[in-house]
Copies of this chain bind each other. A is one copy, B any other.
Amino acid sequence: MLELLNTILQYYCKIETYRPVVTGVSGGPDSLVLLDVLNRLGYPVIVGHLNHLIRPQGQLEASLVKKSAMERGLIYVCEEFDVPSYAREQKLSIETAAREIRYRFLFKLAGEYRAQAVAVGHTADDQVETILLHLLRGSGMAGLRGMSYSALPNQWSNTIPLVRPLLSIWRLEVLEYINRHELQPSDDVSNLDISYLRNRVRHELIPLLETYNPGVRKSIWRTAEIVKDDMTVLDHMVDQAWDNCLDEIGENYLSFRRNDFIKQAKSVQRYLLIRGVRKLRPGSWDYDFSIIDRGIRFIENARSGSVSELAQGLKLFADLDKLWLCGDERELPIWKQFPRLNHQQGVNISVPGRVFLSSDWVLQAVGPTLIEDEDHDEIFNNSDTYTTWVDADQLAHPLVVRGRVPGDIISPLGMGESTIKISDLMINLKIPSQARDFWPIVCDQQEVIWVPGMRMSHRVRVRADTKQVVKFSALSTPRE
C-alpha cells in the first residue's frame, strides 16, 4: 500500500518531499493513516486539527491528534471554532458549517507555512458515496466523476491544491493499516461531520446495492475513473470553446459572441455557462442542470434585450450579437455608449441650462446665441448626432427631457411634414430594446424636438432667416 500511495502522491497528487504539506487530521482512522503514510514516505507534514466544539469529546480528540503529531516530531496546529453558533447564524447545517470552517482553517495554515498542498483523508468509499449522492441529486456527468486526487479549491485557494491521496484506498484497507501499524484512532470522529444523507448512503444504500452486486463499490469507483477521463476530453473541448466564444470579461460581467456560442454542441454550451458562473462567482456552487438548461433555452430563443435569471444572482442578457452573463444588466458596458435617463418623470431644462440624465450622461442647452456668433460650418456640416442646433425662436417653452411614451412621433429634419414613430426610428437604427425605454427625448410644448443620437425635428431647424440658435448636447461624462 505504501508503494502504491507513493506513486499516487507523486503522479496524481503531484506533491514533493521537500515542501510541507498541511494535513487535516480529525483523529479518525482515515486521517490518521494519511498522517502516518505521509510521514513514513518522508513528506514534511504539518498537522492541522480543528476542534469544532460540537461534542464534549473534542478536547480528548485534539490531544490524541497532538500526541500523534508529537510522537513523529511534526508541527501541530489546533484551532477551536464554535461551529454550532456559526451554523445557526449562517443558517447552515452543522456539517456544511464544519466543512467550511475546517477548510478555511487548513488553507489559512497552508498559506502561513507556504505549504505545497492541503491533504485530506477521503477514501475510495467516500468517493463511492459522493458519486451516489451526486446521482441522487442529478448532477450529471461532471458530478459522476466524483472527487479528484488533486484540485484547486477556488473558494479557498487559487494556488494551493487540495489533495486526496487515499482516494483509491478502501476503508477496509485503512483499518488493516491501523491494525498492522498499531495506530490509535479516535472513535466515531469520522461520522462527526458527515451529513444525514451520506450516513444513510453509507449504512443503508451501499449495503443494499452490495446484495445486488457484491462488487458494486468497485464498479461505481471505476465508473468515476472512466467519467474522469471522459471529462478530461470534454474539458479540453470546453477550453477551446471558451477561447472561441468569450468576448470580454469584466468584474461583474462577461460576454460571449452569440454566433459562436450557439454553434457549440449543447453539452459544451452547458459547461460554458457553468464556467462563466464560476468565473464571476468563485466559490462552491452546487449547480443544478435544470437551471443551466433553462439558461440554454433562453439563449436559444432570446430576442435582443431580453433578460433571464440564471444562478448565483447572475442574469443572462441577450444583445444583438452578444450574450452577457452579469450581476446587473444595467451596468453592462454596452449601456455606456447609449444615453440613459434615470428620472422616472420628465425634467424641465431651461436655456441655458443642464440636466443630469444619469451618473454617466448630461444634457446641456447653450444659448440662445446670435447666429452671427456661431460657426456656420459647424452648424450645417455637423456630423455628431449627440449635438444639434435649433432655431431659438421656434421653441415653445418650457422644454422637457423625458422618456418615450407610446405614440411618440417626430418629423425628422429634411423630411418636411412627414412623421415617423420614434419606436420605428429606434428599431431602424438598431437600438437594443433595453436601451429604448431609457432613451432621453427633448420636447417643447408642441412636439418632440430632438432625440439625441438620432434625429431633430424639421420644424425647429436652423434656416436662412434664423436669428438666434440654441445648441443642445448629450454628453457622456467619465465616471470618477
Q: Whole-angstrom distance between the alpha carbons of A218 and B137 in the complex?
A: 9
A266 lies within 8 A of chain B by Cβ: yes
- The residue in chain B whose Cβ has the minimal distance to the Cβ of A238 is B233
**Interface pair B141/A230, CB less than 8 Å apart:** yes
| Closest B residue to A266 using CB positions | B229
Q: Is the CB of B208 within 8 A of A135?
A: no
Size of interface on A: residues with Cβ below 8 Å to B: 40
Q: Chain B residues near A201 (CB, 8 Å)? A: 212
CB-based nearest B residue for A210: B136
A200 CB within 8 Å of chain B: yes
A284 within 8 A of B: no
Contact A138 B223 (CB under 8 A): yes
A209 close to chain B: CB less than 8 A: yes
A178 at the interface (CB under 8 A from B): no
Contact across chains for A234 and B234 when beta carbons are under 8 A apart: yes
Given contacts A229-B270, A234-B230, contact A222 B290 (CB under 8 A): yes
| Interface membership of chain A positions 64-89, coded 1 if the CB is closer than 8 angstroms to chain B and 0 otherwise | 00000000000000000000000000
Within residues 215 to 238 of chain A, which ones have a CB less than 8 A from any CB in chain B? 215-216, 218-220, 222-223, 226-227, 229-230, 232-234, 236-237
Are B213 and A208 within 8 A (Cβ)?
no
Say yes or no: is A267 at the interface (Cβ < 8 Å to chain B). yes
* CB-CB contacts below 8 Å: A138-194 with B: 138-141, 144
Binary flags per residue of A254-289, CB closer than 8 Å to B gives 1, else 0:
000000000001111010000000000000000001
Instruction: Give A405-428 interface residues, CB cut-off 8 Å to B.
Output: none
A464 contacts partner chain B, Cβ-Cβ < 8 Å: no
Neighbour of A227 across the interface among B141, B200, B229, CB < 8 A: B141
Compute how far the CA of A218 lies from the CA of B138 in the bound complex, rounded to whole angstroms: 8
Chain B residue contacts of A223, Cβ below 8 A? 135, 138-141, 144
Q: Are A136 and B197 CB-contacts (below 8 A) given A229-B270, A267-B226? A: no
Partner of A140, one of B222, B232, B265: B222
Inter-chain contacts of A227 with B (CB < 8 A): 140-141, 144
Given A138-B223, A144-B141, A223-B139: A267 in contact with B233 (beta carbons within 8 A): yes
Given A137-B219, A290-B222, A233 contacting B234 (CB threshold 8 A): yes
A212 to B136, CA, bound (A): 8
Q: Are A213 and B136 touching (Cβ within 8 A)?
A: yes
The distance from the CB of A82 to the nearest CB of chain B, in whole angstroms, is 30
Residues of B within 8 A of A137 (CB): 213, 219
- Once A141-B144, A141-B227, A205-B212 are accepted as A-B contacts, the answer to whether A220 and B290 lie under 8 Å apart by CB is no
Chain B nearest CB: distance from A298 CB in Å?
A: 17
Instruction: Give the residues in chain B near A219, CB-CB below 8 Å.
Output: 135-138
Q: Is A384 an interface residue when CB atoms closer than 8 A count as contact?
A: no
Option from B136, B141, B212, B237 in Cβ contact (under 8 Å) with A237: B237
**Complex CA–CA separation, A219 to B270 (angstroms):** 17
In the bound complex, residues from chain B placing their C-beta under 8 Å from that of A229 are 265-267, 270
Contact of A267 among B209, B232, B266 (CB under 8 A): B232
Does A204 count as interface, using CB distance less than 8 angstroms? yes
Given contacts A144-B141, A222-B290, contact A216 B136 (CB under 8 A): yes
4 pairs of A and B residues whose beta carbons are closest in the complex: A138-B219, A140-B226, A229-B267, A230-B267
